[in-house]
A = this chain, B = another copy of it.
Amino acid sequence: MSYLELKREAYEANMELQRRNLIIYTWGNVSQIDRAKGVMAIKPSGVPYEELLPEHMVIVDMENNIVEGQMRPSSDTKTHTHLYRHFETIGGVTHTHSTYATAWAQAQVSIPCFGTTHADFAYGEIPCTAVMSDEQIERDYEEETGVQITDAFAGKNPDEVPMVIVAGHAPFTWGKDAAKSVYHAVVLEEIARMAYLTKTLNTQQASLKQGILEKHYQRKHGKNAYYGQS
């Protein structure tokens, strides 16, 4: 894939965030990686979506060096590259401050799996990271945000739960490409909203029983999946 194509894919995914009402102003960013070339295209920092163009996308390598582009890349660049380096199967990363997912992040608790809507997309709870230590903040805040996320996934398969909430901050989601990571950002916001409503209806609500979680996840994503067209 050429840099031009990579930029266009990243651009289209960024614009989809706005169409889906997940962001206001500059509050989000999407990237897509080309693993063969070892670079990603990412949104420039602080540019309003209304003014964004495909050529504004910045090409950055996995050591956070700018390879091509006139603008400064997203201030969250190091979090994106950290995720690409550690989650080897993913091709796109999305960061938003979508309302309900951010509220759970601010409440600093994982989002329980309360129903099949959740189980259709994530195998179990959406983890909330630990709160960052002062040492980490000092060291390299955006890199350490990535560390918080990969620590929260120790022993977990990021393909089975393609989303996380960072304590006190906001969500990150991922997928096989930029478009799929945005899709998961939309799904997460709706899951987070339903979970908020469930929790405020019944603060003691237990998670969905394992059998139904298993069934729904596997009928969509298991080796004998029968959802969708083959």
Contact = CB atoms under 8 A, between A and B. Distances in A.
Interface stretch (A32-40, A83-91, A94-102, A152-160): A94-102
A125 to B, nearest CB: 14
A170 B201 CA distance: 16
B104 A201 contact: yes
30 contacts: A25-B186, A44-B229, A45-B226, A46-B227, A47-B228, A47-B229, A72-B228, A72-B230, A75-B226, A99-B190, A99-B194, A102-B194, A103-B197, A104-B201, A106-B114, A106-B115, A106-B195, A106-B205, A107-B201, A107-B202, A109-B201, A115-B169, A131-B209, A131-B212, A132-B211, A134-B211, A137-B212, A137-B215, A168-B208, A199-B201
Contacts of A107: 198, 201-202, 205
A141 interface: yes
A193 B99 contact: yes
Interface in A63-120: 71-72, 75, 97, 99-100, 102-109, 114-117
A209 B133 CA distance: 10
A134 B214 CA distance: 11
Contact of A202 (B109, B137, B212): B109
A24 to B, nearest CB: 6
A27 interface: yes
Contacts of A169: 115-116, 212
Given A114-B168, A115-B102, A115-B106, A219 B47 contact: no
A196 interface: yes
Contacts of A205: 106-108
Nearest to A112: B106
A200 interface: yes
B194 A103 contact: yes
